[in-house]
Structure 1
């Protein structure tokens, strides 16, 4: 909790304002998978520690979360630069530098009165994975290797993908077109995102859509194929905030800055691991992490 001594110190150095301390309410959003619940809780706990009242709207799809931000139903949430660039802003240019991508997202989304804070050094890009035993059997190192074989044996493999990945413009069929993959729809199985790992490990499918920061890759000993033709953009994490909210409470940026400084790919995988593999609640994992850094009491 925010002690009186800490409150006075934060007021003096300008990290919090009197407005935020006395009753200001923020609505924090999160999408509907583990990493997002962790990121949502990290933001909520930090903001709450610094005087804000928090309403949480977690478990949203990408497009619902985005629309909620645009319409003011949520004030901020963690999102991904690649998702914004391709899905929200409808851009096709491939940008190979993550900082340039963030800057361009910022510039375009400013027209929507959305501010993207500094990025976290974790790239949760999409990827395709196979069982390590199949990597050794077929010798696939990258997606081009897989596609070359797959086109010659179109019914040999079944791929499992999440529902959103099946439909989104940077999803499976856009990947297939980019790589020149021709397979029947009957070889594509849709399921909840988290189930693709188990389905692959249990040999119900042969190829799985995965996320690069998901600890189940380690748990199930999967092999992630290199995106050698650079189809997927960077999906670095940044908190997107409504401009009017940030103008009213500019201290939000400083309150959340430690997440930019301390979170990275390895840390995020460990936090996700504690939820998905060890079975802890995301709020407990987030709280333990922030307490360990001395950011909350």
Structure 2
């Protein structure tokens, strides 16, 4: 065999390796994530879990809600963890009140038509909640969202700390005001990053804060969550959502990701979020330790 033939064979082999990958090598995957602690944690868990099974993973976290969804739909990311209530109301514009199982079934159906597959949800329900601190004359005695609504109707100057998204969302302040019949008023809303509302509440800069129900700082700071006595907020079960094209190419992703979702619940996420936000442990350390303790890594 002459030199030119050897060169042609080598070229074909290199090209085939580039196009199809070597035998047994998993293709690259991109994992998305939003811009708050719980999302940083599940994105890092997912990266570690997938890399432990031989995948090469790029992580794109720190994204806003709409950007994360757009990235999934466009194929910029292959998967990320989303909340059923967010998809139901924000992305699919469903305003009918649904129970947890109905919410999951509906988003699975509607997003399935868009090429997005909802895998089995976790038992972690990071629904919106409104928190108050102890010993604040403006909110002392409040137990329910109806109590808060009455304070606003009576002209109370109750300062609400909220993310920039919350006042604009139907599953946020817009729908809340309609359900509970009140108007907070622009002067009583202070937009801020979710991580800042806790210090602002503790320092007395705000009187009520929008929080996620699985946040570890709620218990650590002895905050009170106002009861959603009219069941306004949808269920926000945390679940992995994968592009159908990605799942078709890598069907092993489903049992792998569902092995993680099966272990996550409210208490687990509150503890893990608290390790990051209260104990100041690195996200990478918390994620890796949890996977090892859970027998997933």
Q: Same fold (TM over 0.5)?
A: yes
1:268 equivalent in structure 2: 269
| Matched residue SS, 2:165 | helix
**TM-score where L is the length of structure 1:** 0.89
1:12 equivalent in structure 2: none
Contact 2:130 2:225 in 1 (8 A): yes
CA distance in 2, matches of 1:137, 1:208: 12
1:256 equivalent in structure 2: 257
Contact 2:138 2:158 in 1 (8 A): no
1:107 equivalent in structure 2: 109
Contact 1:142 1:225 in 2 (8 A): yes
CA distance in 2, matches of 1:33, 1:187: 24
1:58 equivalent in structure 2: 61
2:96 equivalent in structure 1: 93
| Matched residue SS, 1:56 | strand
CA distance in 2, matches of 1:206, 1:31: 26
CA distance in 2, matches of 1:20, 1:159: 56
| Matched residue SS, 1:133 | coil
Contact 1:29 1:77 in 2 (8 A): yes
2:200 equivalent in structure 1: 199
Residues 1:33 and 2:14 aligned together: no
Instruction: Quickly say closer, same or farther: Cα 1:184–1:54, change in 2 above 3 A.
Output: same
- Post-superposition shift, 1:136? 11
CA RMSD of aligned residues (A): 1.7
1:187 equivalent in structure 2: 188
Residues 1:133 and 2:132 aligned together: no
- Post-superposition shift, 1:24? 0.7
- Post-superposition shift, 1:194? 1.1
Contact 2:37 2:277 in 1 (8 A): yes
CA distance in 2, matches of 1:102, 1:147: 29
Residues 1:223 and 2:224 aligned together: yes
- Post-superposition shift, 1:23? 3.9
The number of equivalent residue pairs is 277
Per-residue displacement from partner, 1:112-143 (whole Å, max 9, x unpaired)?
Answer: 00000000001100111111224997321110
Larger Rg: 2
Unaligned 5+ runs, structure 2: 1-20
| Matched residue SS, 1:121 | coil
Residues 1:247 and 2:276 aligned together: no
CA distance in 1, matches of 2:26, 2:254: 19
- Post-superposition shift, 1:20? 9.1
CA distance in 1, matches of 2:128, 2:284: 25
Mapping 1:132-151, distance limit 5 Å: 132-134=134-136, 138-151=140-153
Contact 2:131 2:224 in 1 (8 A): yes
Per-residue displacement from partner, 1:181-216 (whole Å, max 9, x unpaired)?
Answer: 123211111111111111111000111111100111
CA distance in 1, matches of 2:24, 2:74: 25
Contact 1:127 1:211 in 2 (8 A): yes
**TM-score where L is the length of structure 2:** 0.89
| Matched residue SS, 2:194 | coil
Residues 1:288 and 2:289 aligned together: yes
Unaligned 5+ runs, structure 1: 1-17
Instruction: Quickly say closer, same or farther: Cα 1:74–1:229, change in 2 above 3 A.
Output: same
1:178 equivalent in structure 2: 179
